[in-house]
Structure 1
Amino acid sequence: MTPLTFPAPVENARTEALRAEVRGFLAEALASRAPLERAESWNGFDRGFSRAMGQRGWLGMTWPRRYGGQERTAFERYVVIEETLAAGAPVAAHWIADRQSGPTLLRYGTEAQKQAILPRIAAGECTFCIGMSEPDAGSDLAAVRTRADRQGDGSWRVNGTKLWTTYAHEADYMILFCRTSGTPADRHEGTSQLLVDMKHTPGLTVFPVHDLMGQHHFNEVHFEDARLPADALLGTEGSGWTQVMGELAYERSGPERFLSSIQLLIELIGALQGSENEAARSAIGRLFSHLVTLRHMSRGVASLLEKGENPSVHAAIVKDLGATFEQDLPDIARSLVDARPDLASTNDFCAVLAYTIMASPAFSLRGGTREILRGIIARQLGLR
């Protein structure tokens, strides 16, 4: 069995000053944001807020300055993410671009692609969506069917469908994972990534998919003889699988995997304030212990990133345990407080509880299902 460790990052005066600065900004910027709105942090789409983050140098923080970055550490970036999520900030307009699309471009993009897009992401001016999931593939990403064929002039003709594409209707770009040779039977072989302009690509249509609450975050993106320019290729043709695995490591690596339901824990503690119920106190203690442990592990992922190591397995563990924590939380809250979940309620606990109950089924799906992640973990530990 291969042992895994989660090294602790080194706190210093610089990171603590940054944390205080971010908290001060958020206290003012989010002063009028209601608890229910804070619970929607991941899905809160606000380009103005994202631009404000960019103006303060809090997007693309680790990137080279020539691409709009600040050349700060991975842990400094972690501090900013942790504070914004804990405060329930509306991060959706910059989230995907800053977390994974930008780093993927930085690693695999051409100089022209980097110069054209990365500074806009760092400024909070450019939104990305993820072109991975498909209707017939489920969590089996290697079963991708969307296909891009080279044309005589070097351009690409794309046909296929992507599903559950968050904010595709708002995004400026997508990184498309597709097949450029062979068939789905070839699995990892013959796949590539292409950069898609979501605003100016003929043959591309976005259809809304509404969730349980009737909200429009998800989409189906249909490519019908869509034409992409020759320079749309990201990285190396045929190396899509390796590239997309690196992108997924970025997607699974942050504190969002256990902080996206933090508002419910805040409201639960408030609802129990003054209670002498020993069972309630014990349950809150266990939840807090789990949260502290997840935070330690997640900070360890940031430390590994800082060292230039690949934290994909560590990130998968945090993502799996974080999803379990977040999906257990609504049931624990309901067992401790006798209140009816209701999105329209003026009681903050009831409204946030209702939102989290309806959002939580997706927690074990986004970023890879529990079964897929546990397979990755088992292989690393030598168990399969």
Structure 2
Amino acid sequence: MQPTFWRSVALVLMVALLILSVGMVGVLAGHGAITSGPDVAVAPVQAASGLPQTYDAEETLLRTLYEENAPSVVHIRVVQSNTGQLPSLPSDPTVPQQAEGSGFVLDSRGNLVTNYHVVEGARKIEVRFFDGTVVRARYVGGDADADLAILQVSMDPARLKPVRIGDSDQVFVGQRAIAIGNPFGQEWTMTTGIVSAIGRTLPSGNSVYAIPEMIQTDAAINPGNSGGPLLNAQGEVIGVNTMIMSRSNSSAGVGFAVPSNILRLVAPTLIQQGRFVYPWLGVQGTELSLDLIEAMGLPGGTRGVMIVTVVPNSPAERAGLRGATRVAQVDGAQLPVGGDVVTAVDGTPVDSMGDVIVYLIKSKRPGDSMTLTVLRDGQVQMITVALGERPHDARP
């Protein structure tokens, strides 16, 4: 059974809440008292009066991080139109669907960050702050491809505590990672771990496009954590918690966050224009495996991306890029071969489609030109592409 990606937004149904409430009462009732037998003496716990409580460095750090950042985190509740797209939910569009997630204060103007999938299709948005304040929020803009959205609340700026945004390019494996959010509706829960991996490219779940440079962490992320911050030990936001890989729909120690530098890139435009426009090449590709290198007769050690398909009427097609031309049989499987092999973009070597996507997002805008170094029929060619505007229903 293959792992499944689950967005960490918590779906809240009234029946489920009732069942949960009954279950909680049962747990409390079953553990509410301890009775001593004839051979057991229960002694009262003595408090060490007059002695100061001491904490180790780890506890002090985490306490400080929580106290400084919890007031920046919000609990988001939404009422959405029911699309019937999720299993076990009624398909009647007249029945509203309630959901919840997390978010955080971006600036003193009342702009909040969350995941796009948390507020997609929301009819009504409610935001609860750490001090108990509850207000309505307005949807400002969203980026389905990066799974980011901006909300806005009308509040006194003095009552808002914006986060500090860190530099996700400086994140490293083994770095401390702290998540604050509302898993399963349990407000302002903090979990800790490390950065398990960086540079992951994963599907957004909202569109055909992938999110590059995602941060993987073993800090527990569960349904309801979506949109909350992933922090470093300095209390800076290094990512926006977005999804988990799990067979059980709950944390299995493999969570993912959108890197803070993508948030830095798209948030100002979302605030000003409501949407972010990406540059577009128009290809689907795959990194070179040993099987692919052997099937295409490429020199050993060749690294790059083979173009599998070229989207019709795309910048790539207009520039003359070529996709796979035939299918090879390898170990009983069909392997597309014969496409152009891209080894560099603007002189920067690439090993995967993730590398190409990262370069496009960070370095280019629609209308810019990009020169690809391509291996075709054993010859190196330089092909210049005039990039377009990414549509919603095509590929990078």
Q: Give TM-score, length-normalised by structure 2.
A: 0.21
Higher relative contact order (CA 8 A, sep 6+): 1
- Flag the structure with higher helix content: 1
- Flag the structure with higher strand content: 2
Q: Give TM-score, length-normalised by structure 1.
A: 0.22
In terms of Rg, which structure is larger?
A: 2
